[in-house]
Structure 1
Amino acid sequence: MAQRWEADREAGFGRRLGKSAAELGLSDNNPSCPDVWELDNGDVVVIGRDLTEHYTARLPDGVSVGSDERLVVIPRATILAAKDDLV
């Protein structure tokens, strides 16, 4: 049986994956914008809109959001820009 994954709260930000929201034209240079970052331990952080309450009742069968998790939405352009950095 695989060991349960836990987020390392001590990991630091390593590098941005893709482009900033400003580079993608998704921002007016506001620092609170969607983003994708690789942490120094290899895990990934996604900064987006917390829409957990809006989607929880519509989750597909077999999908759930834990009490310590959030469903975060980011623009398609943000994840597509990160594609080449994800290996």
Structure 2
Amino acid sequence: MKIVRRIGASPRERGSLSGETCPDIFELSDGNFAVIGTEATAVLESELPADAARADYERIVIVSRDTLVRAKSDIPDM
């Protein structure tokens, strides 16, 4: 599995001064997506709806609205 491309604007394009430590979204060679975000499992797990769950190996991460909105046009429909 490899990172194929960034989805959306880079951290620098979104206003990060260092461009190094900000949320990011990547498309992977297997068609899945990887995200860099703020780990928030402990805070948000109890807020999940009744029909949502996470496996022990999964984490809930926060990605800023700006990051996701700017990625929208790069996310394929299918």
TM-score by length of 1: 0.81
RMSD: 1.0
Cα drift, residue 30 of structure 1: 4.4
Return 5+ residue gaps in structure 1 as ranges: 1-10
| 1:57 correspondence with 2:28 | no
For the pair shown, the structure with the greater C-alpha radius of gyration is: 1
Q: Deviations for 1:5-51, whole angstroms, at most 9, x for unmatched residues? A: xxxxxx111000000111011x2214121000001221100110010
Candidates 32, 46, 61, aligned match of 1:72: 61
Query: How many residues are paired up?
Result: 76
Query: Secondary structure of 1:37's partner?
Result: strand
What stretches of structure 1 move > 6 A for 4+ residues in a row?
A: none
Inter-CA distance 72–78: structure 2 relative to 1 (3 Å threshold): same
Q: Which runs of 5+ in 2 are unaligned?
A: none
Structure 1 residue 55: Cα displacement: 0.5
Residue 14 of structure 1 aligns to a residue whose secondary structure is strand
Match for residue 84 of structure 1 among 30, 48, 73: 73
The one of 16, 23, 27 equivalent to 2:6 is: 16
In 1, are the aligned partners of 2:4 and 2:27 still within 8 Å (CA)? yes
